[in-house]
Amino acid sequence: MKIPKTWSDLTIAQFQRLTSVQHGVFDFAVEQEIAVLSVLTELTTEQLESMPKIRLVEMARATDFIKHPISDKLNKRFKIGAKVFDVLLKAEEITAEQFIMLNKYTENEATTTDNLHYILAVLTNERAGIWGRKKPFDFDFENKALLFQEFLSIDKAFAPSVFFCEVYKSWLNAGETYLLQRAKELEKMAKMELKELGKK
């Protein structure tokens, strides 16, 4: 049994399960502690319940890192096995198709964590080797998302996803502000034209 010691030891899939458990309803704190340890250690609930309480306390202390925030370091590139992926960090490079897909995966705040691997798949391009040609973001999209979910550490996935969500909110606010200003300008112009027509 391997006990993770940092966020980099946790995959996106484990983080998704951990988030689900942390928001679950339990009658006793020890039940939630066991559920969390089950996600982190991949031991069954039954295996953990049969352990001495002192062993559970030791394991919980060893996984204390979950009480601290995940690093916000943005990685431009990461590897999974022999595959190399570039992270899109320039908002102006996001295509309309990517924007639509990201909107789909982030429209419901309650399921954003469940879609984290898809969000990151939209924001990355696979490279044919370290210096090779960049493949389109949607190249083998579903398999790329599943690869991220099962093998990419949450500390590499978290920062780009949060970065996008912050940029996305800014875009929406800026877009809404611009559209409201434009609507007011058009309304003002229409009123002036109606006034001019009334004078004739």
Q: What's the chain's average pLDDT? A: 83
CA 115 to chain centre: 7
Is residue 76 pLDDT above 70, yes or no? yes
- The tokens for 60 are 């919980």
The pLDDT, as a whole number, for residue 137 is 85
The pLDDT, as a whole number, for residue 182 is 61
The radius of gyration of the chain's CA atoms, rounded to the nearest angstrom, is: 23
- Measured CA to CA in angstroms, residue 169 lies from 32, 131, 174, 185 at distances of 33, 33, 9, 24
Give per-residue pLDDT as tens, 43-59: 999 999 999 999 988 99
Is residue 173 pLDDT above 70, yes or no? no
Percent of the chain beyond pLDDT 90?
32
Q: Rounded to an integer, what distance in angstroms lies between the CA atom of residue 23 and that of residue 42?
A: 19
Higher per-residue pLDDT: 168 or 14: 14
- Give kind and range of the element (H or E) at residue 125: strand 124-127
The pLDDT, as a whole number, for residue 188 is 74
Confidence of residue 167 (pLDDT cuts 50, 70, 90): low
Mean pLDDT on 153-174? 70
Q: Rounded to an integer, what distance in angstroms lies between the CA atom of residue 78 and that of residue 156?
A: 8
Write the burial class of residue 121 (CB in 10 Å: 0-12 exposed, 13-18 middle, 19+ buried): buried
Confidence of residue 183 (pLDDT cuts 50, 70, 90): low
Percent of the chain beyond pLDDT 70?
83
- The tokens for 130 are 């370290």
Contact 78, 157 (CB under 8 A): no
- Give kind and range of the element (H or E) at residue 46: helix 45-49
Give per-residue pLDDT as tens, 114-141: 999 999 999 899 987 667 788 888 889 9
Adjacent-strand bridge partners of 125: 86
Higher per-residue pLDDT: 145 or 102: 145
Write the burial class of residue 36 (CB in 10 Å: 0-12 exposed, 13-18 middle, 19+ buried): buried
Q: Which of 144, 142, 16, 143 is nearest to 87 (CA)?
A: 144
